[in-house]
Structure 1
């Protein structure tokens, strides 16, 4: 049992002519028309250009965002989705704030007593991981303990 669609002989000749015109135009753009007109009697310049044109428009490709690799991107998308569903403007403002800071490093400030120490973390780290780290730093008694926790975090979460 044969499968496939049977084309009419005229259609097959037209398809083969079109493929040959495209192949010749790719290989020898200057001489392609003269070769085709010598091979096919009555082949006009208009038919040649018609054979070369695309029959269907190219597929629209959705470009991927380069911001995807940053840690704040997922949270920003989640807030935008929630804004689209609920219409809550506060979510849109939070998403805009994240978008403005998406490539900036995280500034983590640790206050023990009256002293304040600031750590800069890579912007590629997910927001939720940074939030977990800040929660774990709340119980620190001194800066050595905070340094150890941050170093452990950075050692296991290589970004």
Structure 2
């Protein structure tokens, strides 16, 4: 338990170090979690735009899970990689739980393995975006540390291969 408390104590400093705002990151995660509540509704509200569009539910699964994993990664793992693995594990468990609940407890909904597939693709997308953001930030930090270093070797810059 001490490790969790220590982690939460360090988190605001780590976010500031990487150039972020704790309230904005927390707000994005809160928005993503609120969007996840839609998976637990007994049925779609009457008059939901696009409800009849084929495949739209798969796009929603992809986008919501991608946003959730990306936002959770930005908040919980701004510098270190360790918590991100747990974010992915929890997201996969959540994807399975959603479909199980829809299959067993929500008579107007149905569990669908296709939804799980798009959930997992969304998780991979969110993790990939998180990795891309970290890579971009590290590249920018490296350029700040040594601004005189030419990013391209002379042979490439001069057209010689």
TM-score normalised by the chain length of structure 2: 0.28
Higher strand proportion, which one? 1
- Structure label with greater radius of gyration: 1
TM-score normalised by the chain length of structure 1: 0.28
